Structure 1
Amino acid sequence: MNAYGIPSRLQVLGSDIDRSQLKYHDRRVAVTKEFTFDAAHHLHAYDGKCANLHGHTYKLVITVSGRVNDIGIVVDFGDLKRVFEDVIKRRLDHQYLNEVLPPMNTTAENMIVWMWEELDRALEAHGRDRDVRLERLELYETPTSRASLDRAWMS
């Protein structure tokens, strides 16, 4: 090996490591991915500037947990991205939230519960074989303001 630690060759499945070794454990592990979408809204019965139509770049942080599959993966990050895009982004990105969400005041506190319900249904169908489940959501309206939910609170 040289001074920079560059390997002389790549590990080869079947000769350097067996497929049965890819799954190192059978423990529950959490996986987290962050996403953004842009949307506009306003709040009803609110005495403040958010009563006016305005927009945010929302950030949604999704944490799921499950047991690893036979190659050591709980959920592929690409699959988690597809679930987010199908369930949340496709419906909310560049939309007027007061119009596309169920009747509610479009607060982060209300929106995150709706998001939980929608994502939970989609993830249940996706990762049933490894007990993949939603553990935590964080919805940022701004870089310093967010609502959060944990699995225990939704039981």
Structure 2
Amino acid sequence: MSRTPGEFRIVESLQKLGVDIAKDQLRYHRRRVLVSKEFTFDAAHHLHAYEGKCKNLHGHTYKVVFGISALPDETGITVDFGTLKTIWKQEIEGYLDHRYLNETLPPMNTTAENMVVWIYEQMETALGSATYRSTILEGRTEFVRLYETPTSYAEVKREWMQE
């Protein structure tokens, strides 16, 4: 049933798989698509070899934004948002949330620039694992952006990590 754009109507029945749409119609295309999801975490850290306020122990509410691309599966989904949440919760968040980052991250100065690369590496490792490789078709991390404050962030992109 077609309708005129802008026309308001109440849906009388829900579309049914196998009746109104065939299973092979669920995937509209076979092109790579980027899906983005963001998370927040609270953590404390301090910087070494730095003369400024950040040399002292202090905390932030960080925001991390992931850009993950993949090919759509037979249902038209590239990356399920719930899967990204699972990866975040199981593989990454435990090292960051309500932690003293100087203790839980590998030996490094806990700058946003260092941390964003570490976070990228964790996501890439998870996407390449047997657990997710079979459900996310050719999934890869395209970018990670780490906000240290609402107006300041560090970002890494896939092409920079390949150099």
Instruction: Give distance in 2, aligned partners of 1:4 and 1:107.
Output: 52
Alpha-carbon displacement from aligned partner over 1:12-54 (angstroms, at most 9, x marks no partner):
1110000110011110000000101110000011111011111
Q: Which amino acid aligns with 2:161?
A: M
- Is this contact kept in 2: 1:127–1:133, CA < 8 A? no
- Is this contact kept in 2: 1:30–1:65, CA < 8 A? yes
Instruction: Give distance in 2, aligned partners of 1:4 and 1:94.
Output: 48
Instruction: Give distance in 2, aligned partners of 1:135 and 1:115.
Output: 12
Q: Which moves more between the two structures, 37-46 or 118-127?
A: 118-127
Equivalent residue number for residue 149 of structure 1: 156
Q: Which amino acid aligns with 1:122?
A: A
Alignment length, in residue pairs?
A: 154
Check if 1:137 corresponds to 2:144: yes
Check if 1:14 corresponds to 2:43: no
Q: 1:6: Cα distance to partner?
A: 2.7
Superposition pairs of residues 112-123 of structure 1, within 5 angstroms: 112-123=116-127
Q: 1:4: Cα distance to partner?
A: 4.3
Instruction: Give distance in 1, aligned partners of 2:45 and 2:122.
Output: 20
- Is this contact kept in 2: 1:104–1:110, CA < 8 A? yes
2:24 alignment partner, SS class: helix
2:82 pairs, out of 78, 83, 99, with 78
Structure 1's consecutive aligned runs of 4 or more residues displaced over 2 angstroms after TM superposition are 3-6
Which 5+ residue runs of structure 2 have no aligned equivalent? none
Instruction: Give distance in 2, aligned partners of 1:21 and 1:124.
Output: 28
Relative to the length of structure 2, the TM-score reads 0.90
1:131 alignment partner, SS class: strand
- Is this contact kept in 2: 1:58–1:141, CA < 8 A? yes
Superposition pairs of residues 34-113 of structure 1, within 5 angstroms: 34-113=38-117
- Is this contact kept in 2: 1:75–1:127, CA < 8 A? no
Instruction: Give distance in 2, aligned partners of 1:26 and 1:56.
Output: 40
Which 5+ residue runs of structure 1 have no aligned equivalent? none
RMSD (CA atoms): 1.4
